[in-house]
Amino acid sequence: MSQIQVEHLVKEYKRKKNPEGLIASAKSMFRPEIETMQAVDNVNFAIEKGEAVGYVGPNGSGKSTTIKMLCGILKPTTGSVRVNGLDPFHDRMKNNKNIGVVFGNRSVLWWDVPVIESFRLFQTLYEIPEKRFKENLEKFTEIMDIAPLLSVPERQLSLGQKMRCNIAAAFLHDPQIVYLDEPTIGLDTESKASIRRCISKINEEEKTTFIITSHDFQDIESLCRRIILINHGKIVLDDNMQSVKQKFNQKKQIQFEMEQNPWHNGEEFICQGVRVMGTTSHSLKLEYDLEQTDSMKIMTAVAKGSEIQDVNISGRDIEEIIRDIIRKDNHIKRSSDVM
């Protein structure tokens, strides 16, 4: 059995409609109109120990709701979640000992006391042996570069400093699974990079399972080998990062810089599966379909007619691919809604 098993998971929210206008608002105080929305709609997936999964989707697609159900703080409307064989909602306390959570917009630390006091309290609450605690504290203090922050109360820290302390806090008890919900919000590039390095290392060395939601696709790309895409509460894509790139990256662009462009103001450059995107007297920009041709063929063809000085090949990055998939999915949904 997988470490995390999600089957037919559904979460419905009932929401009071907030009508417009004063009279309608007053009416709704007594007889509110309730609307039901499916935040998560029949979601299925399984995650093995040691995987690093990127859970992505646009705003309001049901990412955080899913994560909250995985942690056990929201009760699923129907369907089941099993984490290490436990139901995280009913065995929350047991489950809590095995997981670490970082919410980008919430802190787990005590607001008014120095950070180290919060860490010490975690040691007691999670029953971490002194030796292990010291090792972990030292390790994560160094990785997150928070040594000078330990004696400062949390309320005096900046957003990024708070995040770094929170990330360190999530790892102190050697969790088996770590949920990171927008972990790099408010961090500078240097901290982002060191967090990514650190997570990759823990993932490899300790076989810790990671589930990461982020709007920063660099986070997802550098950390996750698998990506699950959710839109309108439904899973649209669940695949290996590499194969997503290959499958959806069929078109690439290639740009040549040359002495003299013989195809500018002359006959058109013709090659199977290639479309000319732009020409100047010194450059040529082409888009080609990977199923019909490849970059070597094109280069050979171009080299025959001119002297190439520079070449630049670019494909779409994962962010663009995801955006495309979502756009298509929204389109399908809308047209099916009409019918």
Partner 1 sequence: MKKMKELVRMTFLTKFAYMKAFWFNVLGTGASIVIYYFLWQFVFQKQNSLNGFTMVQMTTYVILSRILSSQFGGGINEELSQWIYEGKIGVELLRPISLFFTLFAKRMGEFLFFLLFKGVPISILCFLILGGTAPAGVLNFILFVLSIFISIVIMFFIEFMVGICAFYTYGYHGLMFTKSALLSILSGGIVPIFLFPKGLAAVLTYMPFAGMVSVPVNIYLGKYVLAESAKFMMLQIVWALVLCLAAHLFYGHVIKKVVVQGG
Residue that has been written with the tokens 């389109």 in this structure: 331
* Residue 153 within binding range of partner 1, rule CB under 8 A: yes
* Residue 68 within binding range of partner 1, rule CB under 8 A: yes
Residue that has been written with the tokens 């990055």 in this structure: 317
Q: Between 172 and 258, whose beta carbon lies closer to partner 1?
A: 172
Q: Between 59 and 189, whose beta carbon lies closer to partner 1?
A: 59
Q: Which stretch binds partner 1 (CB under 8 A): 115-123, 142-150, 218-226, 230-238?
A: 115-123
Indicate which single residue of 36, 124, 314, 335 sits in contact with partner 1 (rule: CB under 8 A): 124
| Calpha distance 269→261 (Å, rounded) | 10
Residue among 197, 225, 222 nearest 209 (CA): 225
Indicate which single residue of 103, 119, 217, 248 sits in contact with partner 1 (rule: CB under 8 A): 103
Which strands make up the sheet holding 34-47, listed edge to edge? 34-47, 4-16, 78-83
Give CB contacts under 8 A, 24+ apart, made by 151-159.
Answer: 151/114, 151/115, 151/116, 152/114, 152/115, 153/111, 153/112, 153/113, 153/114, 153/115, 154/107, 154/109, 154/110, 154/111, 154/112, 154/113, 154/115, 154/118, 155/111, 155/112, 157/115, 158/186, 159/185, 159/186
Indicate which single residue of 1, 22, 29, 93 sits in contact with partner 1 (rule: CB under 8 A): 93
Q: Between 32 and 315, whose beta carbon lies closer to partner 1?
A: 32
Restricting to residues 169-188, name those near partner 1 by CB under 8 A. Answer: 181
Q: Between 113 and 276, whose beta carbon lies closer to partner 1?
A: 113
User: What are residue 305's phi and psi, to 5 degrees?
Assistant: -95, -15
The neighbour count for residue 275, using CB atoms within 10 Å, is 13
CA distances from 232 to 11, 34, 324 (A): 12, 20, 15
Indicate which single residue of 27, 44, 60, 121 sits in contact with partner 1 (rule: CB under 8 A): 121
Residue 38 CB, nearest approach to partner 1 (Å) = 15
Indicate which single residue of 17, 27, 92, 207 sits in contact with partner 1 (rule: CB under 8 A): 92
Residue among 207, 312, 296, 210 nearest 258 (CA): 312
* Residue 90 within binding range of partner 1, rule CB under 8 A: no
* Residue 71 within binding range of partner 1, rule CB under 8 A: yes
Residue 316 CB, nearest approach to partner 1 (Å) = 30
Q: Which stretch binds partner 1 (CB under 8 A): 72-80, 235-243, 244-252, 259-267?
A: 72-80
Q: Between 106 and 304, whose beta carbon lies closer to partner 1?
A: 106
* Residue 159 within binding range of partner 1, rule CB under 8 A: no
For residue 153, give the DSSP letter.
Answer: B
Residues forming the site for partner 1 (CB under 8 A): 13, 64, 68, 71-75, 92-93, 96-97, 99, 101, 103-108, 110-113, 117, 120-121, 124-126, 153, 181
